Amino acid sequence: MPTTPPAMTDTYAVIGHPIEHSRSPDIHALFAAQTGQDMHYGRRSAPVDGFAASIQAFFAAGGAGLNVTLPFKQEAFERADTLSERAQRASAVNTLMARGDEIHGDNTDGAGLVADLVGRLGTDLAGARVLILGAGGAVRGVVPNLFAAGVARITIANRTRAKSQSVAESCLRMGSIAACGLDEAPFDADLVINAISAGLAGEMPALDDRVLTRARAVYDMIYADTATPFLRWARDRGVAGEDGFGMLVEQAAESFALWRGIRPDTRAVITALRGC
């Protein structure tokens, strides 16, 4: 049965479609216990055509903040009353918070990805050539942080080339960035990042093995209890990688800090939930 938050407890949630798989409630429960915060965090499933009504109802009922996941990050950008600088750069929002009568939008995806890659995994991004597979809202959120971390070039490859081109064009001022179709992906990337959500359904698009020719590692922004199709594909071709659970925890910590004014220990939470 769903739990009812105690009276006067600040209410937060993750909103998406689908949402049942999300580990965000587990993560934020550990953050709250670790930092002594009085809050309740749950899941909210929104109809694909009902995101605006869902967030309005949540905040009208006194909700304090929302994490936004697939497929609503770009719509959240459009619906927020005010936006942080990094949300404006990304043209996507994954964190919403009540500010008086307004809803403020931010984006913590990029900070979460770089924190996991550099802080936990020790990835050297300085001068790296990065290939990103996919062109959704999460990709828009991570490109600025990757450039800020010293990446030399980013190529965005997507099944629909026009979509990857749209993301690349919005980021032209940030650094060297190019767009292509999946079948045109370059073979010289040092790091290959998968952001194609089909991995949630256990699927993966056909890729040319040569995209891993120079890859030192791969990273899947999708996470699962077992190795994702993308990670299995790379592993079978001799390239090791990690899934996006660490990114999930790190971006959640960034959201938590925005909401509560205190930053939790992410390593302890990753260890508690993943044992590593």
- CATH number of the domain at 192, please: 3.40.50.720
The answer on whether 197 is annotated among ligand-binding residues is: no
Residue 3 lies in a domain: no
CA within 13 Å, CB half, 173: 3
One domain, residues 228 and 156: yes
Rounded to 10 degrees, the C-alpha dihedral 59/61/67/72 comes to -70
Q: What integer pLDDT is reported at residue 3 of this predicted model? A: 55
One domain, residues 170 and 96: no
d(Cα 66, Cα 96) in Å, to the nearest integer?
5
d(Cα 94, Cα 223) in Å, to the nearest integer?
17
What b-and-e string marks burial along 134-171, b requiring 16 or more CB atoms within 10 Å of the CB? bbbbbbbbbbbbbbbbebebbbbbbeebebbbbbbebb
One domain, residues 133 and 232: yes
One domain, residues 135 and 211: yes
Residue 216 lies in a domain: yes
One domain, residues 116 and 98: no
Q: What integer pLDDT is reported at residue 1 of this predicted model? A: 43
The two structure tokens encoding residue 252: 């959640």
User: Range of 209's domain?
Assistant: 110-242
One domain, residues 127 and 16: no
One domain, residues 260 and 149: no
Residue 16 lies in a domain: yes
The answer on whether 85 is annotated among ligand-binding residues is: yes
One domain, residues 98 and 116: no
Residue 179 lies in a domain: yes
The two structure tokens encoding residue 103: 């809803």
For residues 113 and 140, the answer to whether their CB atoms sit within 8 Å is no
- Number of domains within the chain: 2
The answer on whether 159 is annotated among ligand-binding residues is: yes
CATH of the domain at 69: 3.40.50.10860
Active site residue: 44, 73, 89, 140, which one?
A: 73
Catalytic residue list contains 64: no
Residue 1 lies in a domain: no
Residue 2 lies in a domain: no
One domain, residues 117 and 223: yes
Q: pLDDT averaged over consecutive 10-residue blocks of the chain (276 residues)?
A: 61 96 95 97 97 98 96 95 94 95 97 97 97 92 95 97 94 95 97 84 83 97 90 96 97 98 97 85
For residues 169 and 177, the answer to whether their CB atoms sit within 8 Å is no
The answer on whether 161 is annotated among ligand-binding residues is: yes
CA 200 from centre of chain? 14
The answer on whether 22 is annotated among ligand-binding residues is: yes
One domain, residues 142 and 19: no
One domain, residues 26 and 94: yes
One domain, residues 216 and 260: no
- β-sheet with 176-181: strand ranges across: 176-181, 153-158, 129-133, 191-194, 217-220, 241-243
